Structure 1
Amino acid sequence: MTVPALTGGRLAGRPDQPLLVVGPSLGTTSRALWSAAAGLLGDTFDVVGWDLPGHGGTPVQAPFTVGELAAGVLAHVERIAAARGDATARFAYAGVSLGGAVGLRLLLDAPGRVGRAALLCTGATIGTPPAWRERAAVVRASGCAALAGGAAERWFAPGFADRRPGVAAELVRGLADVDREGYAQACDALAGFDVRDRLAGVAAPVLAIAGARDAVTPPASLKRLAAGVRDGRLAVLDGVAHLAPAEAPRRVADLLLTHLSGPAVSSPAD
């Protein structure tokens, strides 16, 4: 197994608070995507992010699967948790799109570690393998700047970029700066990701959050996810598309505070 060495850091909160790990969407960093919502969660949680290879400070390494990426996230969390005094402590998790796919693999592969999870704008499979391989080829040939022109339409509900131009511009600008090979490797990982037949193995409570205007992972994708796990609930955000924590940080934070503050369930690994 190839375990990527990931980077990231604290977005809000203090080390003496319960640990909440947040994951990014493809083409974003955890700080750019989660900073506003994290600021609203910091009174309750120690909010820590991680970044994909080629994004933020994480270097590009060997190709990886979503499962290997999840193992890399767990190793990243263990380094942070060790500094807090308990490398094997449970944590809460929230991830967007590819970050949500990683959350599903964490729930399946490390059930004793994730007490509760919120999975946003994601699915048990995302898109189609040919579409991801085609996008990987485009990015390898032309760089991520080739995707920036259509990013706002894919990521945000109509009108958001006009209301919050600074937020939208920062995220789109960040996409153009992503390393082409790191992005392409993530596309290849998504092409091979499909855990639809394993959802019943997820025992931890899961909140699936959909954007009503999300064309990338529409509400039906999150509805299937919530129905497939043992303890799932669906929330749909009106007027929101694919990057929910950036588009609706207050609504996302309120949902996470309610869901993630509940009791965790015991897993067979306990």
Structure 2
Amino acid sequence: MTLPALTAVDFGGPEDAPLLVLGPSLGTSVAALWSNAARLLATRHRVIGFDLPGHGGSPPPVEAFTMADLAHAVDTIAMSYEAGPYHYAGVSAGGAVGLELLLDHEDRIATAALICTGAKIRTAEAWSERARNVRRNGTSAMTESARITWFSAGFPLRDPDTAAALLESLRETNAEGYAATCDALGQFDVRDRLTTIGGDVIAIAGAEDIATPPSSLLYLAEHIPRCDYLEIAQTAHLAPAEQPELIAQELLALTQRSPA
């Protein structure tokens, strides 16, 4: 099994600072989603991100992969920075990667923020249907539904540049990369393993998120032994884009509590 090829994005920060790895959501580039928050995080961390297969700067996949495969690939990127244990924060699919890191690479993860995600997201049938749609019609077929699920009411008017960059990253995403990530999410279900997770974790929900509603994040907080919960008002599925200052504040507080 060849690990999926992922491209790292360097957001800067002091080279000798603790490493913080950022994970994107399905259909987004890590830069479009995290850039505003990353600038704040880079005051105290060396910050890198990664793009999912066929997203942003990452090439399309050459074979099927699982969320555990993605976690292994992300850990390989982190190791290339010669870091010890590192901090991780991921949104949606990136949050699923975070759960796999906590489960399969626990000695490498100092803290984790699981944002707008879940131990199981939607049903396998729903993911299969979406993958078929995108393989047939391309990622532009997802644009209108993304406008509804990604943003809280009024956000595209408050920050039109960020909203436009996110939708453009969706349109530019390779169809097979998007569909293969859907396939991986359809297989993803770690609900029966959550109680084995150690370390300090925070589950962050958007109050207006209909893709991964607050109940999904509450489930994580109730089943992961050391997991705090935060629900952010007037926020939908892409919390780091809508609330970069608050997300950065919460992550810095978490990483200070358990330094790498």
TM-score (normalizing by structure 1)? 0.94
Find the partner of 2:96 among 93, 101, 104. 101
- Partner residue, 1:260: 255
| Residues 37, 246 of structure 1: 8 Å contact kept | yes
Equivalent residue in structure 2 for 1:112, among 107, 110, 125: 107
Aligned to 2:32: 32
For the pair 1:122 / 2:117, whether they are aligned, the reply is: yes
Q: Distance in 2 between matches of 1:174 and 1:133?
A: 22
Task: Report the counterpart of residue 75 of structure 2 in structure 1.
Answer: 74
Tell whether the 8 Å contact from 1:5 to 1:76 is kept in structure 2 after alignment: no
Map Cα deviations across residues 141-161 of structure 1 (whole Å, 9 max, x no partner): 000011112211110001001
Q: Distance in 1 between matches of 2:151 and 2:108?
A: 32
Q: Deviations over 1:32-88 (max 9, x none)?
A: 100000111111111100011101111112110001111111111112x23xxx4xx
The gaps in structure 1 that reach 5 residues or longer are 266-270
- Give the C-alpha shift of residue 243 in structure 1: 0.1
Map of 1:19 onto structure 2? 19
Q: Which residue number in structure 1 is paired with residue 212 of structure 2?
A: 217
Q: Find out whether 1:60 has 2:60 as its counterpart.
A: yes
Secondary structure of the residue aligned to 1:233 is: strand
Find the aligned partners of 1:105 and 1:116 in 2 and give their Cα distance: 13
Write the distance in 2 (CA, Å) between the matches of 1:57 and 1:235: 31
Q: Is 2:198 the partner of 1:203? A: yes
2:54 and 2:202 map into 1 onto residues whose CA distance is: 29
Q: Is the 8 A contact 1:9 1:49 kept in 2?
A: yes
User: What is the distance in 2 between the residues matched to 1:184 and 1:227?
Assistant: 31
How far apart in 1 are the matches of 2:212 and 2:200?
21
Contact persistence 1:205–1:264 (CA under 8 A): no
Equivalents in 1 of 2:9, 2:173: separation in Å?
Answer: 18
Correspondence for 2:8:
8
Please say if residues 12 and 41 of structure 1, whose CA atoms lie closer than 8 Å, have aligned partners that are also in contact. no
- Structure 2: give runs of 5+ residues left out of the alignment: none
Task: Write the deviation string for residues 197-240 of structure 1: whole angstroms up to 9, x where unpaired.
Answer: 00011001110000000000011100000111110110000000
The residue type equivalent to 2:127 in the other structure is W
* Alpha carbons 2:197, 2:224 under 8 Å: kept: yes
**1:93-116 C-alpha deviation (Å, 9 max, x unpaired):** 000000000000000001100011
Residue 187 in structure 1 maps to residue 182 in structure 2: yes
SS at match of 1:256: helix
The runs of at least 4 aligned residues of structure 1 exceeding 3 Å deviation read: none
Aligned AA for 2:44? T
Which amino acid in the other structure matches residue 65 of structure 1? T
Q: Aligned pair count?
A: 259
Q: CA RMSD in A?
A: 1.1
Question: Using the alignment, how far apart are the partners of 1:139 and 1:93 within structure 2?
Answer: 29
Give percent identity, aligned residues only. 49
3-state SS of paired residue (1:9): strand
The alpha carbon displacement at 1:16 in A equals 1.1
Of 141, 148, 151, which residue of structure 1 is paired with 2:143? 148
User: Using the alignment, how far apart are the partners of 1:257 and 1:77 within structure 2?
Assistant: 19
Instruction: Specify the alignment match of 2:50 in structure 1.
Output: 50
The TM-score normalised by the length of structure 2 is 0.97
Q: Distance in 1 between matches of 2:206 and 2:2?
A: 33
> 3-state SS of the aligned residue for 1:101?
helix
Aligned partner of 2:87 in structure 1 is: 92
Write the mapping of 1:222-241 to structure 2, written as runs, cut at 5 A. 222-241=217-236
Aligned counterpart, 1:268: none
